Amino acid sequence: MKEKELMSELSSIRNLMERSAKFISLHGLSGVLAGIYALVGAYIGYRLVYQVGGGLIYRDYYVNDQEIIAKLIVVALSVLILSIITAVVLSMQKARRGHQKIWNAASKGLLLHAGIPLLTGGLLIVVLLFRGYFGIIAPACLIFYGLALVAGSHYTFNDVKWLGISEVVLGLLAAMMPGYGLLFWAGGFGILHIIYGSVMYVKYDRAK
C-alpha cells in the first residue's frame, strides 16, 4: 500500500513539474480554426491574383501590381490576427478549466524562443517586399514560421516540433517551385494546421 501511495505521489509531482515547465494550454481547435482561416485567405488571394476564370496555372512570373500586393498583405495580416485571437481565447478557456495560469514561466519561454525567429522572418519579409522579391515571400513565411515552432516546442507539446519541421520542409519545396507559392502557403498554413489541430484535439482536448 505504501509503495502504491509513493508511486501516486511521484506521479503527481511529475505532472506538476510538467505543468510548470511546459505550456499545455494550447487548444487543438485553435489550430483547426487557424487552418480554416488560412484556406479562406488563400482562396481570396487566389481570386486577387488569378482573377475570375484565370485557372490554376503555373506562374513563372510574379505579381508586381502594387494594389494587388497591398490587398494580399491585408488578407495575410487578417488571417494572422484572427488566428492569434482565436489561440489566445481558446487557451485562456482551457487554462481556466484546468485551474492554470496562462501567463507563467513556460508561456514566457515559448513567447521568447518562438518570437525571435518570427520577428526575424517578419523583418526579412518586409525587406523582401520593399526590394520586390515577391517570389520567395511564401517560402520565407513557411520556413521562419516552422523554425519558430521548433524553437518554441521545448516549452509546449512535442507535437509542435513536428508541425514546425513539416512547415520548414514545405517552405524549402516552395522555394524550389516559386510559381506555386500560393498553393504551398495554403498547404502549410491551412491543411497542415487542420491536421495538426485535429490530432492535438484528439490527444489532449477531447476528454477535457
Q: Is 84 within the bounds of a domain?
A: yes
Residue 97 confidence (pLDDT)? 75
Q: Is 65 within the bounds of a domain?
A: yes
Point out the least confidently predicted range of 18-32, 69-83, 99-113, 138-152: 18-32
Residue 39 confidence (pLDDT)? 94
Q: Is 7 within the bounds of a domain?
A: no
Show the domain range for 196: 29-205
Q: Is 198 within the bounds of a domain?
A: yes
Point out the least confidently predicted range of 25-34, 45-54, 189-198: 45-54
Looking at the 3D structure of the chain, how many domains does it have? 1
Q: Is 162 within the bounds of a domain?
A: yes
Q: How confident is the model at residue 201 (pLDDT cuts 50, 70, 90)?
A: confident
Integer angstrom CA distances of residue 82 from 7, 14, 20, 79 = 44, 35, 28, 5
How large is the average pLDDT for residues 174-196? 88
Integer angstrom CA distances of residue 193 from 56, 104, 167, 199 = 23, 25, 10, 10
How far apart, in whole angstroms, are the C-alpha atoms of residue 75 and residue 90? 23
- Asked whether the predicted pLDDT for residue 61 surpasses 70, the reply is no
Q: Is pTM beyond 0.85 here?
A: no
- Asked whether the predicted pLDDT for residue 90 surpasses 90, the reply is no
- The per-residue pLDDT for range 99-133, each reduced to its tens digit, is 667 677 777 777 888 889 989 999 998 898 888 78
How far apart, in whole angstroms, are the C-alpha atoms of residue 18 and residue 136? 39
- Asked whether the predicted pLDDT for residue 167 surpasses 90, the reply is yes
Highest mean pLDDT among 8-22, 47-61, 62-76, 151-165: 151-165
